[in-house]
Amino acid sequence: MKIALMMENSQAPKNAMVAAELNTVAGGLGHDVFNVGMTDENDHHLTYIHLGIMASILLNSKAVDFVVTGCGTGQGAMMASNLHPGVICGYCLEPSDAFLFNQINNGNAISLAFAKGFGWAGELNVRYIFEKALTGNRGEGYPIERAEPQQKNAAILSEVKAAVCKDVVAALQAIDQDLVKTAVGSAQFQECFFSNCQVPELAEYVRSLID
């Protein structure tokens, strides 16, 4: 599985620690991690709004399979991600959130709070969230006797999302194009995207923004 980590300006100083924890967990499971957001305070400036655009492009192009995003509270990054077609982002403050999102909602992105409640042993909480988000058979339901309705509802939610959010490129073109240009402007994002994109229409659109 290919996993994108994306962090914005307010929490960029924590990127090295978060990336190390994610690489420890994901690497041990045989996954590839792409650190596509801000890597420090001086990097290409991003807000949580840009992160949502990035998640949409990477997931819908199949350049990555899963996104780890977040901001100070995690709420803004979650909302910005869930605006877009093909992105189902859960909110994870602790490992049990990640486990339940994995089992019940079976989405393709999680948003973490990197400031709120992030105190002593914060790196351990992040590590355990990643462990629960990336292990086990997804979508099995919890508790197990609720598996059938949960699986049915998760599928219906995906169908509703697809019906409401129809065309990815059209949706991106409807946004202020300066926002999208900034979202796709970093070298680390472009390397991940162009190396792994499986949807030519999205590749052509992104290339038109940066050429």
Q: Identify the pLDDT of residue 182.
A: 97
Chain mean pLDDT for the chain = 95
Q: Identify the pLDDT of residue 147.
A: 86
Q: Identify the pLDDT of residue 197.
A: 98
Q: Which of 42, 39, 89 is nearest to 69 (CA)?
A: 89
Q: Identify the pLDDT of residue 164.
A: 85
Give the whole-angstrom CA distance, residue 186 versus residue 70.
18
pLDDT digits (tens, 9 = 90+) for 72-113: 999 999 999 999 999 999 999 999 999 999 999 999 999 999
pLDDT digits (tens, 9 = 90+) for 156-183: 988 998 888 879 999 999 999 999 999 9
Residue 144 has pLDDT above 90, yes or no: no
Q: Identify the pLDDT of residue 83.
A: 95
What's the pLDDT band for 64 if we cut at 50, 70, 90?
A: very high
Torsion of CA 126, 73, 4, 110, to 10 degrees: 80
- State what percent of residues in the chain have pLDDT above 70: 100
103 neighbors 141 (Cβ within 8 angstroms): yes
Residue 17 has pLDDT above 90, yes or no: yes
Residue-range domain boundaries for the chain: 2-210
Both structure tokens of 30: 């045989």
| Domain 2-210 grouped into CATH 3.40.1400.10 | yes
Q: Identify the pLDDT of residue 203.
A: 98
Could you tell me the pTM of the whole model? 0.95
Burial of 143 (0-12, 13-18, 19+ CB in 10 A): exposed
